Structures are given as structure tokens and as C-alpha cells.
A = this chain, B = another copy of it.
Amino acid sequence: MADWTLHAQLAADTVNLGDLPLSRVLMMDDANYPWLILVPRKADLTEVIELDEAEQAQLMREVTHVARALRELTACDKLNIAALGNVVTQLHVHVIARFRHDAAWPKPVWGAAPAKGYEPAKGERITAELRRTIGLP
């Protein structure tokens, strides 16, 4: 993991929640949706299929762990989980809590509504709750 650095666009759009064994956990600074992103800390990755089988299983465990935490915290109607990467090619997995009343429902979130940064106190509260529920220091 020595040569890995987070892509500048991902860094600019998110708050860093901390690291799981394989992935960095980020929260999108978009109050439209509770929206996490996992980024495996391994250099030069663009596709899930470039991970070896043990790493893929670890990524799946981390996605599941984070998705359960997000659902527990938000009581969302649906989880959306996706590895797209058409724009930012560094491998990253979206884990998004969706609600029937949210800004894009039932469409996918990408490109649907302009990002709406969290009001600072609310952003701090939700990042603290997410860190605690995910088990990040």
C-alpha cells in the first residue's frame, strides 16, 4: 500500500472517515444522500477484477460492513452499491443510502441533483455517528 494515494477528485468531494484493513472509507459531502465510498489502498487499480480473490473477498466484507452500518444509522429504504469509475478511474465503490423521498429516487444518484454540501454542525454529527457505527477511531 506504500505507493497508493487517494485521487484528488475523490479527496476534494469527500470527508475521510478512516481506514479499514483494505479500504479507505470516505463520506461524500452531499447532504442529498448518506453516501459512502470505499477505496482499496492499492496503487494503480481501476477494476474490481484486478484484485486477487482474497482481496475481493475482503472488499466484499468491508462493503457489507459499511452498508450495514449505513442502513442501521439511516433506516434507508434501499442500498445502492456500485463500482463505476467512468470519470474517476481509481477503483472506488459507492455505498449509498436511498429513500423514496430523496432527490433522485428512483433514479441512480449520479448526475441527478447538484451536490449540496453539509451544513458544518450536521456534517460533523453524521461523520461522528458513521465512524462510531462502522468502528473507525
Q: What separation, in Å, do the CA atoms of A82 and B84 have in the docked complex?
A: 8
- Is A106 part of the binding interface, using a Cβ–Cβ cutoff of 8 Å? yes
Per assembly, the copies of the chain total 2
Smallest Cβ-Cβ distance to A81: which chain B residue: B83
A95 to chain B minimum Cβ distance, whole angstroms, is: 10
- Is A132 part of the binding interface, using a Cβ–Cβ cutoff of 8 Å? no
Contact A86 B82 (CB under 8 A): no
Q: Which of A84-109 contact B (CB under 8 A)?
A: 84-87, 89, 98, 105-108
Question: Besides the contacts A53-B61, A78-B85, what 16 more A-B pairs have beta carbons closer than 8 Å?
Answer: A47-B71, A47-B78, A48-B64, A49-B67, A49-B68, A53-B64, A56-B60, A56-B61, A60-B60, A78-B86, A78-B89, A80-B82, A81-B84, A82-B84, A86-B105, A108-B111
